[in-house]
Chains A and B, each alone.
Chain A
Amino acid sequence: MSFPWLTTLIVLPLVGAVALWVLPASLRTRARGVALGFALAELALFVVALTQFDTGAAGTHQLTELHHWIPALGVSYAVGVDGVGMLLIGMSLLLVPLVVLAAWREQGSETVASDRLRQYLALVLALTAFIVAVFAARDVFLFYVLFEAMLIPVYFMIGGFGGPKRRYAAVKFLIYSLAGGLVMLVGVIALYLQGPRGAEGFLTANLTGLPLDPTTERWLFLAFFLAFAIKAPMFPVHTWLPDAAEQAPAGTSTLLVGVLDKVGTFGMLTLCLPLFPAASRWFAPAVIVLALVSILYGALLAIGQKDLMRLVAYTSVSHFGFIVLGIFAFTSTSVAGSSFYMANHGFSTGALFLVAGFLVARRGSQQIADFGGLQKVVPVLAGLFLVIGLSALSLPGLSTFVSEFLVIVGTFARHPAAAVVATLGVVLAAIYVLWTYQRVFTGPVRPGLEGMADLRSHERWAVAPLVAIMLVLGFVPAPALDLVRPPAAVTLEQVGVTDVPTTAQGGDR
């Protein structure tokens, strides 16, 4: 048997978390270094695993492992990744060390690492293990278990380390997610009973392509989709996200919005569509309308926000609308675009949360009105904020542009009207990004902000890799697109729709 790459990727951060928790008192001041070491080792391990991944066959699941876990219930430990899973794991593992770096001086760790920071970093590493596992799960039960279990570390990350109303935000987050998840549980059980059962009855492969009664299939689709829509989050079940993002530390928001919410769209793409193809086609128009509402509603609310973190959260609601739109437009271009968008959104929004977090930490306030004229005081921070903001509005030359363009072009081929409406979202994005930049960084310097310090080196290192990778993938998106195109074709085949050719083939520019 080949080396269990994915299991190693899952176990390593868990080891790191345990190591941080049991760190002897004499070494506790080194907690930051230990956490960063584990995060970087994990990233290095991923790079090695990537070399074992055959990009030419990115549409199939590779690095697979299969062990019986609870045969009596039909549950297996089955992991494997296709191109999309690989891309998302890579994105997540790139973000983790940066989040560790960004938290360097948080939780009362101005000089040495505090005990609270140690516990926070341990939670980050524990969450990392869940993230890798959930993107790699090839068993519906395993996916569900991870989907629910990862709520616990996030709950503590928001509730234990956030802002003044953190308890409310954490409980709201947990209740929303659990309510969706438990409805999905009924769907998971019902789906299993429709399948072949037996010791491997929960394997995704064994549940794909089942002959389902159309009514049953639609109910099952709804049970799964509700959980993913809450997670994503889509209008009208998005209201937990702004509260969570407002109260959570910036690093938590980065992981929460940048990575965890992707589990929602990832679930739609890799579970809803292949498991319930007919129902997906039947519900697609409704989902597309919801996605369009999310795009416009999220963007409009972002424009109206007074709180920096809430603003970023609402921009994400808008962006998730694009991702869902691309998935349910059912063209190979739009699905590939959405897959790529998931990774880009992680880089872009993650970076946006981090720089917003730097701003907030310096000013001690999240209100946009408390800032002004900072461009003269902190030029590096301002420049980074601008570049990252431009990535959020999908400026050509940055990777987000490629994915957003693919989604819109792909959608246009099947639903021209939807694509036109979605384009309005791009215009609104320009307003919320540029207007925010204007209010925070231009104009006269607000009294009291003259002495604000510019980015420290560890903060620069936390953001620079993200900007670099967005620039690289903006000009040379081919390596990433090679990962997402074959899975998109497979997905379309599973859904049972014929591709609509688009006039633009975005990848080969």
Chain B
Amino acid sequence: MSFTAPHVDWAAIAPVAVVLVAAVVGVLLEAFVPARVRRTTQVAVAFAALAGALLAVALLWPSVRDDGGRDVIGGSLAVDGVTLVVQATILVLSIVALLVIADRTSTGLDAFAPSAASIPGSDYEALARTKGLQQTELYPLLLFAVGGMLVFPATSDLLVLFVALEVLSLPLYLMTGMARRRRLLSQEASLKYFLLGAFASALLLFGIALLYGYSGSLKLSEISAATQQVTGTESLLLVGAVLVMAGLLFKVGAVPFQAWTPDVYQGAPTPITAFMSACTKIAAFGALLRFVYVGLPGMQWDLQVVLWTVAIATMVVGTVVALVQTDIKRVLGYSAVAHTGFILTGVVALNEQGLHGTLFYLLAYGAASVGAFAVVWLVRERSVGADGGEGDVLGEATHLSQWAGLGRRHPVLAGVFTLFLLSFAGIPLTAGFIGKFSVFSAAVEGGAWPLALVGVLSSAAAVFFYVRIVVLMYFTEPAVPGAPEQDGGTAAVEQAPVEQAPVEAAPVEASGATAATLTAERTATGERTVTTTVVRGRGVVAAVTVCAVLTVLLGVAPQPVLDAIASIATFLP
């Protein structure tokens, strides 16, 4: 059997190529550029690559809009309207997220361990910190992840789908474990993410094998054609399709594959959480949309049961569990699960409106999500010095009780955060509302009105925990540091509390002091009192501003974006 090299349409894959080439260049820079300027160079390359890729998408846009796009590299990638919309969304949001990642804020420190390989609490770690080492490999890793994400929604070949999944996942596992503070929590999250992710990859791969066994092809179009014929091996098709979907549903964080979401969101460095909460979800939904709409259009009736069940369970579980969280990153993590359910409502609709609604929702959700985590990154703990004055700025103040009274002291920051929460909650005049409206109306139109009903009821319940944060920020007095009853709360905070106490109640004393000892930058004295403070950072402020403007604009005047999506977003058959 002779091998014919496929023709490569470089223009069509330019967005992917730019990012991946820049990633490889980044690895070389790591080796050859002196440490002094390495960080600056890496950040510049990363920004240039993402901006260049976005430009490439923009250049492809008119021709794809007119001719519907084309298959490239022997039909393994489809550069069509949906691909471009998803790629543009990912690129815009990853540029915004990169602003947060690269910003060292007024503390002069970024979110990442000086040397990720050092054992937490070891002498080597302390040495790395005093030497001022930086883990600049982060930026090539980020570019590899983005590259994988750009390929993921474009794959019309299941093997490429698997490769893209791994290319985007492996860097994310690494980046999750690179937090500067609470390193054990971060590494635990990383390992959890990796193990569960590997499990999901295996399911996906097994599903691909079954689908290949059924249809004799890895191409979505040929699998789709095979489903039209009765062969007597439909069980292969069904099991294979469900397994592939399981792999994809893991990436979007749908029930019953949601378990990793809150842990990873909490453990990962907050800027990385901002990046992956938005971009991973968007890429995975892009792939899921293509798999369901292009690969299995003949299986609507069989898949509908699965998707309905998953969507309803995701909305309900995400909302209910979020109600009892006490850590802001976990609240946002479970809220992300609930939003996965809302977006699935649009996917389930299986009509054009559902497709467009889903794409719009992804942008609206992504903007609010990056913005919200960026704000979380700014709200820090500050130790109280020995003389009672202000001590060092520490990690993020993630316990909800630490957000009390933020609205009084930082009205603008709290106001913007409120805006993101309102968008999550789907209050009119924010992007979230238009997104919810689009997917719910698509669902009603597609006959899935029970999904829409569950959706609105979960939205109503979800308002409760979003509003709880607003209440904390505006209507609750901040706790006084050093007060006797505060000590218990502070200790609990330092140990990255995961116990589920009501917000209003004083946090209970947690047992075990492992995590607390790891925040080695704190003075190891008996008085471990911290206050909440807000740091400044130009990059973060720029990112938050972009997200806030997007959230308002998409809520008040969504027409241009809706038009743009409607004019281009169709799949190649």
Contact = CB atoms under 8 A, between A and B. Distances in A.
Q: Do chains A and B stick together as partners? A: yes
Interface in A58-79: 69-73
Interface string A134-162: 00000000001110110110011001100
Interface stretch (A6-14, A91-99, A187-195): A187-195
A189 B452 contact: yes
Nearest to B504: A167
Nearest to A179: B460
Contact of B475 (A148, A167, A189, A192): A167
Interface string B425-466: 001110001100110110011000100110011011001100
A186 B562 contact: no
Interface residues of B, number: 33
A149 B558 CA distance: 17
B422 interface: yes
Given A148-B427, A149-B427, A175-B463, A73 B438 contact: yes
Contacts of A192: 441
Contacts of A175: 460, 463-464, 467
B467 A171 contact: yes
Given A148-B427, A149-B428, A186-B449, A166 B475 contact: yes
A108 to B, nearest CB: 14
A159 B471 CA distance: 8
A174 B471 CA distance: 12
B304 interface: no
Contact of B444 (A70, A145, A186): A186
B324 interface: no
Contact of A185 (B456, B464, B468, B562): B456
A360 interface: no
A111 to B, nearest CB: 23
Contacts of B463: 174-175, 178
B440 A145 contact: no
B157 to A, nearest CB: 33
Contacts of A170: 471, 475
Contacts of B429: 145, 149
Contacts of B471: 159, 167, 170-171
A190 B449 contact: yes
Given A70-B558, A71-B559, A145-B428, A159 B566 contact: no
B428 A144 contact: yes
B563 interface: yes
B359 to A, nearest CB: 13
A134 B422 CA distance: 20
B561 to A, nearest CB: 9
Contacts of B467: 155, 171, 174-175
B474 interface: yes
A182 interface: yes
Contacts of B449: 186, 190
A212 interface: no
Contacts of B422: 152
A171 B427 contact: no
A72 B559 contact: yes
A183 interface: yes
A220 B436 CA distance: 19
A166 B559 CA distance: 39
Contacts of B558: 70, 72-73
Given A189-B437, A193-B445, A152 B460 contact: no
Interface in A34-71: 69-71
Interface string B533-567: 00000000000000000000000011100110010
Contacts of B562: 70, 72-73
Contacts of A73: 434, 437-438, 441, 558, 562
A156 B474 contact: yes
Given A189-B440, A190-B444, A182 B428 contact: no
Contact of B441 (A167, A179, A193): A193
Most buried by A among B437, B440, B563: B437
A149 B433 CA distance: 11
A189 B444 contact: yes
A70 B556 CA distance: 9
B192 to A, nearest CB: 34
Most buried by A among B428, B459, B559: B428
A152 B425 CA distance: 12
Nearest to A70: B559
Contacts of A160: 474-475
B450 to A, nearest CB: 10
A434 B441 CA distance: 52
A207 to B, nearest CB: 15
B456 A182 contact: yes
Contact of B428 (A72, A148, A189): A148
A233 B83 CA distance: 49
Nearest to A145: B428
A189 B559 CA distance: 18
A101 B563 CA distance: 47
Contacts of A183: 453, 456-457
Nearest to A68: B559
Most buried by A among B457, B463, B476: B463
A186 B558 CA distance: 20
A186 B464 contact: no
A153 B429 CA distance: 13
A183 B475 CA distance: 28
A185 B342 CA distance: 15
A71 B557 CA distance: 11
A430 to B, nearest CB: 39
A386 B138 CA distance: 74
A159 B476 CA distance: 10
A189 B557 CA distance: 19
Contacts of A69: 559
Contacts of B427: 148-149, 151-152
A163 to B, nearest CB: 12
A175 to B, nearest CB: 6
A72 B434 CA distance: 11
Contacts of A72: 558-559, 562-563, 566
Nearest to B357: A73
Contacts of A149: 427-429
Contacts of B566: 72
A151 B452 CA distance: 22
Contact of A182 (B434, B438, B459, B563): B459
A159 B460 contact: no
Given A71-B559, A156-B474, 8 more contacts: A72-B562, A73-B434, A149-B428, A167-B475, A171-B468, A178-B463, A185-B437, A185-B440
Q: Which 10 A-B pairs have the closest CB atoms?
A: A182-B456, A145-B428, A72-B562, A179-B460, A189-B441, A149-B428, A148-B428, A189-B444, A182-B460, A70-B559
13 contacts: A145-B428, A149-B429, A160-B474, A171-B464, A174-B463, A175-B464, A182-B457, A182-B460, A183-B453, A185-B456, A189-B441, A189-B452, A192-B441
